[in-house]
Amino acid sequence: ESALFSAEEQVALAYADAVTATPPQVDDALKAQMKQHFTDDAITEMTALIAFQNLSARFNAALDIPSQGLCDSFKGRPHA
């Protein structure tokens, strides 16, 4: 919802949230919005990347695999 994101980015973020929900919450309205901004190939690639990140997060959580600290290194840095 932030004005810092373009309409395309906002739709992509909404799609990522919807795909990540359990169970997934991708409705026809969101699919139509995605098609306004992205090609079928781009939607397929984005879906695969979101699914992979979800798989990785669930795998790591199930096995108590700790974070590698990438996000921690950005704490306190000003945003560009």
Structure tokens belonging to residue 34: 């995605």
DSSP conformation letters of 30-72: HHHHHHHHS-HHHHHHHHHHHHHHHHHHHHHHHTTPPP-STGG
pLDDT in tens, 45-76: 999 999 999 999 999 999 999 888 776 655 65
What is the pLDDT, as a whole number, of residue 1?
A: 74
Predicted TM-score of the model (pTM): 0.79
